[in-house]
Chain A
Amino acid sequence: MTRYVVQRLVLLPFLLFVFSVAVFAIVQAPPGDFLTAYAATLASSGSSISAEHLDALRREYGLDQPAYVQYLKWMRNLSQGNLGLSLEYQRPNAELIGERLALTVVLALFSFVFTWVVAIPAGIYSATHQRSVLDYVLTALNYVGVATPNFMLALILMWIAFAYFGIGITGLFSSEFVDAPWSLARALDLGKHIWLPAVVLGVAGTARLTRVMRANLLDELNKPYVMTARAKGLSELRLVLRYPVRLALNPLVSTIGWYLPALFSGSLIVATVMNLPNIGPLLLRALVNQDMYLAGSILLIYCFLTIVGTLVSDILLAWLDPRIRMDG
């Protein structure tokens, strides 16, 4: 078991290296570069830029170098902890990412908590009260929840709020707090605004988790050890929570590791629709504008999170299930 973990940790940098090459290749793939897109934008809005000016900029940013040179420059910077400069915003990437990272994490966490707090009890109830009215209602909600893309839900909610209540629910802060420094009031304001995106983000995951929990628990409830526990005289609630739920949760807890990276990437589209200051929209713009160091760095961060998340999942699974832990 420890050998397996160590193996994976050792492979991590190698994996990241391979990914960095792939990521860079993808970001560089579209013809032209940042400056061609920039010039095109300028042209469509009426102003223009001289060819010499363009060339000078190109030399300054190193965009005239062949691709592999640019890649090496990026790698060298990364190894020194420098994420590069954003061509569009003219600011260090680390800064740009940093200010949005916190909010992305907070959103993902809220969503995660919402999902688990709702789905697990719902799944337990559904499995233990099969064919009850509430079970049917929950199952129907689950099916619809899984079928609704999260941005669609966001659109519908935003429309309802606007058309019927005249309020806009975009953004994570009310106007007075947007650029204000952090304070308790700002944090509370964030709380007021963040629950909606968190719920929207979490709906599909909640629906899926409830269904899986219900299915797992149904499998476990038929097993002999449940009958033995009942025959010992345990109360129904205690025995359900202590035995089959515990076993049904095992495979689910092991998925926690993937949850956070998945929420990160999943929040991308919702953040675009709801105008949230997330990493997602930043990546989108960077990709479209070929702001390559920014796009590359963000993609690499996502890769890193996914790999770590998978590793955490595997560790959790082994830790929870002594059968796996002890078999090494």
Chain B
Amino acid sequence: MPPIPIATDADAATPLLSVRDLRVSFFLDEGVVRAVDGVSFDVSAGQVVGIVGESGCGKSVTMKAILQIVEEPGRITAGRILFRRRRGPGVPGDEPVDLARLHPRGAAMRAIRGAQIALIPQEPMAAFSPVHTVGDQIVEAIMLHARQWRPEGPALRRAEARRISVDLLRDVGIAMPEQRVDAYSWQLSGGLRQRAMIAMALSCKPRLLIADEPNTAIDVTKQAQVLSLLRELQRRHRTAIVFITHDLGVIAQIAQHVIVMYLGRVMETGPVDDIFHAPKHPYTRALLRSIPTLRVTPRAKLPIISGSLPHPLNRPTGCPFHPRCDVVLPEVCASRVPSLQPVGERQSASCFLHHAVEDTT
């Protein structure tokens, strides 16, 4: 598959995806859960961004919000998700569209899903339909957005789509793709399934790929292969990737830019080197400290983050992390919410240790 250059415009400074103050809430019988509570970040074309955080920090919900597939009773309540669409019929200039304003089931959003923003879901076993072949499902994606492959002229035929699928499977490193295309997902091993999932996600040449914890379902050796595959594909097609995970090691290997989330807010963000070697936020520091290393004195206690994740209906006031923070400033942190402010050249953190209270918005 010849690499299609995605960022054709000269203005590479405008980010591909720009999330501004996104808020997503779930309206349950028991109360309202603010799963995402004011998240902002940018993704540039061709960049690999990692979103890292504990379970329940809102990273998956953020991803679903971008794709407008947040399930009932959840809803985007505020914020903007600005996305630069590819130029094409019906899309004049490069004016970014606010995805949060589009109707989740409307034609505009459906045209973007799969074709411009694609998802690699969490469990490839469960994410493929068990009663349709892998090939059928990839062909379906291709036919749905056929115009990506053939912008004008006669419509794409199924036979051609099938040939494209076989090529895609070969590109992701699946041997004997002509046979594998007719297999069912449960007939493939875990690693092959994951690759097939990646092939399906890439099938319509998206500008942005969202990978939702793609490594949880496979073992360590396969993980390394999948990561290198993703790096290779990203390099070849200049696709931007948003990589969601709780595994700091994976982030270190693949991300260029890191976003650290906690309880629905961004704690810190910056280039991967800065985050790992010079973390500014107490939460980031605690996370990095708690990774067991080989250089620890024997029988020393493993460092932990004290306290536990608060119940989603019982959010702390002020800074969400303050009950568990070891350098908390008592009155300030409990009463005011810090905002994301720059703490370095390309690094930002939301912590009153690094900026004055008056800077809060």
Contact = CB atoms under 8 A, between A and B. Distances in A.
Interface in B144-161: 144-145
Interface string A236-262: 100000010011001000000000000
Given A224-B127, A322-B184, A232 B144 contact: yes
Chain A: interface residue count, which band? 20 to 34
Contact of B131 (A230, A234, A246): A246
A234 B67 CA distance: 13
Interface residues of B, number: 29
A55 interface: no
B69 A231 contact: yes
A235 B103 CA distance: 12
A158 B130 CA distance: 48
A231 B119 contact: yes
Contacts of B128: 225, 228
A70 to B, nearest CB: 53
A230 B72 CA distance: 14
A190 B72 CA distance: 49
A232 B141 contact: yes
A232 B114 contact: yes
Contact of A323 (B122, B140, B141, B186): B186
B123 interface: yes
B39 to A, nearest CB: 20
Given A235-B105, A247-B129, A224 B114 contact: no
B126 interface: yes
Contacts of B69: 227, 230-231
Contacts of A230: 69, 113
B121 A231 contact: yes
A247 B123 CA distance: 18
Given A246-B131, A247-B131, A323-B186, A232 B126 contact: no
A30 interface: no
Nearest to A327: B186
**Chain B CB within 10 Å, residue with most, of A227, A228, A321:** A228
A284 B67 CA distance: 63
B242 to A, nearest CB: 13
Interface string B5-28: 000000000000000000000000
A233 B130 contact: no
B179 to A, nearest CB: 15
A224 B132 CA distance: 15
A229 B145 CA distance: 13
Contact of A228 (B111, B127, B130): B127
B111 A233 contact: yes
A119 B34 CA distance: 38
A238 B145 CA distance: 15
A233 B110 contact: yes
Interface string B97-123: 000000001000011111100110111
B137 to A, nearest CB: 8
Nearest to B105: A236
Interface in B4-58: none
20 contacts: A223-B126, A224-B123, A225-B127, A225-B129, A227-B127, A228-B121, A228-B128, A230-B69, A230-B113, A232-B113, A232-B114, A232-B141, A233-B144, A234-B144, A235-B110, A243-B129, A243-B132, A246-B129, A323-B131, A323-B186
